[in-house]
Structure 1
Amino acid sequence: MAYAHSLAVTLAAAGLTVFAPAHAMTDQALAGMVKQRLQGDRTGACMAVAVVEAGTVARTYQCADAKDLSRIGPDSAFEIGSVSKTMTAALLADLIAQGKGSLDDTLSAWLPEGTKLPDYQGTPILLRHIVTHTSGLPALPSRMGAADMTDPYAKLDETALLASLGDVTLTAAPGTKFEYSNFASMVLSYAVARRAGADMETLLKQRLFAPLGMRHAYVNTAPDGVRAAVGHTPNARATPAWHFQTNFAGVGGVRATLDDMVRYVQGQLGTEPTPISAALQRSQQKLSDAPPMAMNWMLMPVGGRTVHVHEGGTGGFSSFVSFDIEKQRGVVILSDTTWNSIGSLGSLGLHLVDAGFPLGAPRREARPDDTLLDALAGEYELAGGMKMTLRRQGDALEIQPAGQGTYAMGYDSAGDFYPREFDAVLRPRRTAEGQSFTWMQMGAALPAKRINAAASAPVLKFDAAALRDYEGDYPLMPAFSLAVKAQGDTLTIQGTGQPALPVQAVARDVFVMDAVGAEIRFERDAAGKVIALTLKQAGQQLRGERK
C-alpha cells in the first residue's frame, strides 16, 4: 500500500524520537492499547495483534464489540493482502542467491518468449523497478474482464495478465517515478514461480513457510486445525473472500494466522538462522530513495533508525507488519475488516511502532452539524466524470450517483460520511471555493467539483497585523509541529521537514490548504488570544497548543 501525500503525516518525515519502554510489552498492556483504539468503533472490526520483542511476544485478540470475539482466535487465518508482496520479494531474493537471476535482469527475461512489454525510448523495465514500484506499469491490468468487485481478481488468468502488458504505454523511464502497482506485482509473482519451476503455493510452503515455522499459512488449501476468518466491510457486513490464480498469489493471496506472522517477523529480525535468512536479509536492503524502499518494503525513518513497514488490504481484511532490526522489535496487526477506505491500520500500527505516533480514537456514530449538511447538498462531478447528487434528509445525508438509486449515509466522529450499504467514504473537504468532498472507494480518492455552483464567496483577506496573531509553533506530536508565519498579507504553514505552504482564509480563524486537502482551525481564549490550532486532514484531527 502506498503512502498518500499529507501535510501532517508524511509522519515518516518527522524523524520521531523513540520512547523505548523500560520493560517488554505484556499481553495485558497490549490489550489495553488495542481496546482503547478499537472498542466501540463503528466498523465492528476484530483484530489479532502482536508485538514481537527480543525473546518475548505479546498477543491480544480484540473486537470493537466484545460479543464478536468468537469470530477470531489463534486458529484464524486472515487474508494478509499486500503484505504477501514482501514474501514474493523474499522468494525473488532467494532465487538471486541461488544464481538464478539478478535485480538488474529485464522483466522480459523472466517471462515467456514473445511477451510484448512496454519500454520508454528503449529503456526496459528491470526487476528492481518492480520491487520498488517504479516500473511505470499502472495500478491494475487492462484485461481483468467484467470482474465482480467483491472478488476482483478471480477471473484474471495468465493470458489476460500478459496481454495487458502490451496495452501499456510508459510515460516516463522506469526507475524515475513511484507508482504503486498491483499489476506489476502480479506479473512478478507469476515470473518468480515460472523461474523457480514450481507453483507459487508450493514455492511459498517449501522455501518460506516451512523454514520459518509458519505451519498454518497457505494460499488455496487450509492446513488441518485452521479456520478461514470471514472478512467484513467497514459497515460490519460480511463480504466474500478474494481469490487469485495460484501463481498470482504473491500480490495478495496469502492467508496466515497471527502466530504465522509472528514467526515471519522473527525471521525478518534474524531471531534464529534458517535456510531463508540470507534471502530475507537481501530483501531488506535499501534500493530507492523516493520514497525509501527495499524489496517491496517501505523504509520509515524513526529516531535515526530505519523501520521496515508494509500494509495490506483486501475486500474484507486489513493488515500491518513492521520490524525494526536495530531495536529487535516487530508489530503485526491482522483485522477481519477492511479499513482501506478509512485510512488503513496506520494509526494503531504506527503507535505500536513508536509511542510518539498518536494512537487515534474509535470512529463512533455521530450526528453531523446542520450547517455541514446544508453546505454539502447539491450536484457534483467526481474526478473521472461520475456525477453525484447529495441531499439532506432530516439529520442525515443521502447520495444518488447518476443513473443509480439513493443511498443513506452514516456519519462518524472522525468527520466522515459513509454508505450503510457498501464500503466507501465521503470525506467533507473545505476549500477556498466552498464546501466540497473527496469520494474514497476501492483505493481511489476522487475529489468532487460542484456543478453549476453559485458565485464563489468573496476571498477573505486579513492585514499583516491580523495574520501575525496566528504566528507561532504548534507541536502536534513529538518531533513534529506546524510553524505558522505571516508573510505580508499571506499566512504560511510549515510542517517539520516540509516546505512552507500558503493557506487561504475561509472564515475567521479557519484556513484551508487545497493542495493537500487540509483545514486548519485556530482557537482563542476568553481574552481573544490565539492559543491552539487543530489540523483536520485525511480523516485525522491533530491539536497543538501554541508555544
Structure 2
Amino acid sequence: MLLKLHSLPLCLLALSIVPVSAATAASGPALDAAVRQRAELLVHEGRHASIVIALTDGKNSAVYGFGRARADSNSEPDADTVYEIGSITKTMTGLLLADAVTAGKVKLDEPVASLLPGYTIPAFEGQKITLLDLATHFSGLPRLPANLAPADMNNPYAGYGDAQLRTFLASHALAHRPGTVFDYSNLGYGLLGTALAAKAGTTYENLLQEKIARPLGLRSTSTAATPAMRSRLAQGHLSDGKPAHNWDFQAIAPAGAVYSDARDMLIYLQSYMNKTGAAQQLAVQPQQVLEEEHGKKIGLAWIIDQAKGQPFAWHNGQTGGYASFAGYTLDGKRGVIILTNTASDVDALGLASLVPGTLPPLKKVTPQLKEISIAPSELAQYAGDYALAPQFVLTVRQGPEGLLVGATGQGEAPVYASAKDHFFYKAVDAQLEFQRDAQGVITGVVLHQNGQAILGKRKP
C-alpha cells in the first residue's frame, strides 16, 4: 500500500480541542452513538489496537480515544498520540501543488517534465503527463513502479530512491493517454512531490514544513518522526494483530510518508472547512469525474463524494501497521479525523461520523489460517505468470523465505502456505488456490478476495 515559495495564505480561527475519553461526555462535537459502539467493539474484539476519532464543527473540536496505543501503557490514545497517516499525505502534496499554482509558480496543465529536466518522463503519442494528471491519478502511470523490489517486505519503500525512480520512468511505456483513465498511483504522487520539491530547490520534507506545517502551527507533522514524536508514537500492528514495522520512504514519500497526531490533523482539516486559503479552495475543486452516475469526482487528491444527499470531501490512508481517514462535509459543519494503529481500514467509521445512519453491519472476522511449512524445493513449482485478466497478471516467484507474489502495476507481497496448493496473504484478506491438470502440473491459480473467485491461467 508517498520548494521555497511565499507562505501559504492561511489564517485559522481559534481551535478549541476538548480531549474526551471513550466513556465520558464533554462540550464539543458529540460522537454518533453507533460510531462509538462500533469503535468500542472493534478494540474489544482486538480488531484494532487503538482508535482515535477527532471531530470538529470548524471551530470547536473533541477527540475520543479507544483502546491502547502501546502495550506498555494503560492510558487511552488522545489528541497527541502520533500515527502514520499513510495516503492522507497525498492531500498535503496536493495542497503544495495548489499553493504553487495560486502563487503563480506552476500551472496545473504544465508538463511534469518541465519541472524535472534531468528525468526522462514517458509520454503517450507525444502527449505529456501534466501536474494535474498526477494530482488526479489520471497520468497513466501504474500504482507502483515495476522495479520496486523490497529487500524487506516489512519496510517496502525504504530502498526506493531517486535513482530507481529515474530508471523506471526512462524505460516505462504508458498504456494509455494521460487524462483519460483513472489509475490510483502512489508512484504518480511520489513523482509529483519530487517535481514540486525540485521546482523550489529543496526537499519534500522542507517544503512540507515551510508551506503547511509551520504556517498552520503543526508541531507533530513530518515525514520523519522526531524523538519527541516517537515518544508519543502508537505501536503499529498488522491486520492480524501482530506488531508491525514503521515504514521508511525515499522517492515515494509524497504519497504516504507523513506522521501526525489528531491535534495537528484537526487544524489541518479546519483550514479546508473554513475556506481560509486560496490553496485549500483549489485543492478540493473538482477536476475529474470518477463516477458520473454517483457524482463522485476528484480534486487535487481529495475525493468529492456524497451520501444521503450530503456532499463531502475525503481521503483515507493505510501503511503496514496503521490506517486513517480524513473528511469533512462541504458545508463546513462537520469534519472527522480517524487514526488507528492497525492496518485495517476505518472508512466506515469515517463516513458514519460525517453522515449519521450510514454505518454498515460489521463484517464477521475471517478465521486466521494456520501457516504450514513447505520445503523450498516444493515451492519452485508455483513460480510463473498467471493472467487473471488481459492486462492484470500475477507473478509468483520464490523468495529467500517463501513465495512472493506481485501484480501488474503493484509491488510484491509474501504469501504463506496453509495446505498444499493453498496460500494466503497476511497483509490483506485474500487467498490463492493453485490448480493442476490430470498429470499434476500446475495450470492456473484462483484468487479468492472480497467474496469473488477469479481464475488466472498460467502463461507458457
TM-score normalised per structure 1: 0.62
Q: Is the 8 A contact 2:137 2:184 kept in 1?
A: yes
CA gap of 1:233–1:305, structure 2 versus 1, over 3 A, is same
CA gap of 1:418–1:405, structure 2 versus 1, over 3 A, is closer
* Residue aligning to 2:290: 290
* Residue aligning to 1:131: 135
Q: Aligned-pair distance for 1:148?
A: 1.5
Q: Is the 8 A contact 2:186 2:252 kept in 1?
A: no
* Residue aligning to 1:59: 63
Q: Aligned-pair distance for 1:49?
A: 1.1
User: What is the number of equivalent residue pairs in this alignment?
Assistant: 381
Secondary structure in structure 2 of the residue aligned to 1:183:
helix
CA gap of 1:230–1:71, structure 2 versus 1, over 3 A, is farther
Q: Aligned-pair distance for 1:278?
A: 1.4
CA gap of 1:30–1:145, structure 2 versus 1, over 3 A, is same
CA displacement, residues 245-299 of structure 1 (integer Å, 9 cap, x when unaligned): 2x6422111100111111111111027x4xxx21111111000002410001111
Counterpart-to-counterpart distance in 2, 1:315 and 1:367: 18
Equivalent residue for 2:221, pick from 217, 224, 228:
217
Query: Counterpart of 2:262 in structure 1: which amino acid?
Result: L
CA displacement, residues 100-159 of structure 1 (integer Å, 9 cap, x when unaligned): 110100010011x24212111111111111011010111112333443111111111112
* Residue aligning to 2:238: 233
CA gap of 1:408–1:328, structure 2 versus 1, over 3 A, is same
Q: Is the 8 A contact 2:247 2:319 kept in 1?
A: yes
Query: Counterpart of 1:337 in structure 2: which amino acid?
Result: T
The 5 Å alignment of 1:111-150 reads: 111=116, 113-150=117-154
Q: Is the 8 A contact 1:44 1:235 kept in 2?
A: no
Structure 1 residue 347 corresponds to structure 2 residue 348: yes
Q: Aligned-pair distance for 1:37?
A: 4.5
Counterpart-to-counterpart distance in 1, 2:165 and 2:304: 29
Q: Aligned-pair distance for 1:229?
A: 2.2
Q: Is the 8 A contact 1:43 1:64 kept in 2?
A: no
Equivalent residue for 1:110, pick from 104, 111, 115:
115
Q: Which residues of structure 1 form unaligned runs of 5+?
A: 2-22, 369-378, 389-399, 410-416, 427-437, 440-447, 454-513, 519-535, 539-547
The 5 Å alignment of 1:145-156 reads: 145-156=149-160
Structure 1 residue 332 corresponds to structure 2 residue 333: no
Q: Is the 8 A contact 2:31 2:353 kept in 1?
A: no
Counterpart-to-counterpart distance in 2, 1:215 and 1:140: 31
* Residue aligning to 2:458: none
Counterpart-to-counterpart distance in 1, 2:337 and 2:131: 28
Counterpart-to-counterpart distance in 2, 1:232 and 1:50: 21
CA gap of 1:161–1:69, structure 2 versus 1, over 3 A, is farther
* Residue aligning to 2:187: 183
Q: Is the 8 A contact 2:416 2:424 kept in 1?
A: no
Query: Counterpart of 1:352 in structure 2: which amino acid?
Result: S
The 5 Å alignment of 1:129-528 reads: 129-222=133-226, 224=228, 227-245=232-250, 248-270=252-274, 273=276, 277-291=277-291, 292-339=297-344, 344-361=345-362, 363-364=364-365, 383=388, 384=394, 386=396, 407=417, 422-426=426-430, 450-452=435-437
Q: Is the 8 A contact 1:37 1:361 kept in 2?
A: no
Secondary structure in structure 2 of the residue aligned to 1:166:
helix
Secondary structure in structure 1 of the residue aligned to 2:315:
strand
CA displacement, residues 34-62 of structure 1 (integer Å, 9 cap, x when unaligned): 43441433434311111221433232111
Counterpart-to-counterpart distance in 1, 2:85 and 2:355: 22
Query: Counterpart of 2:44 in structure 1: which amino acid?
Result: G
CA displacement, residues 1-34 of structure 1 (integer Å, 9 cap, x when unaligned): 8xxxxxxxxxxxxxxxxxxxxx974269587334
TM-score normalised per structure 2: 0.73
Secondary structure in structure 2 of the residue aligned to 1:239:
coil
Secondary structure in structure 2 of the residue aligned to 1:228:
coil
CA gap of 1:28–1:180, structure 2 versus 1, over 3 A, is closer
Counterpart-to-counterpart distance in 2, 1:402 and 1:86: 31
Q: Is the 8 A contact 2:48 2:341 kept in 1?
A: no
RCO comparison, higher one (Cα < 8 Å, 6+): 2
CA gap of 1:156–1:118, structure 2 versus 1, over 3 A, is same
Q: Is the 8 A contact 1:318 1:345 kept in 2?
A: yes
Q: Is the 8 A contact 1:80 1:313 kept in 2?
A: yes
Structure 1 residue 93 corresponds to structure 2 residue 106: no
Secondary structure in structure 1 of the residue aligned to 2:335:
strand
CA displacement, residues 434-465 of structure 1 (integer Å, 9 cap, x when unaligned): xxxx55xxxxxxxx574449xxxxxxxxxxxx
Counterpart-to-counterpart distance in 1, 2:404 and 2:201: 49
Q: Is the 8 A contact 2:248 2:257 kept in 1?
A: yes
Q: Is the 8 A contact 2:327 2:354 kept in 1?
A: yes
CA displacement, residues 492-540 of structure 1 (integer Å, 9 cap, x when unaligned): xxxxxxxxxxxxxxxxxxxxxx9x988xxxxxxxxxxxxxxxxx789xx
Counterpart-to-counterpart distance in 1, 2:188 and 2:159: 17
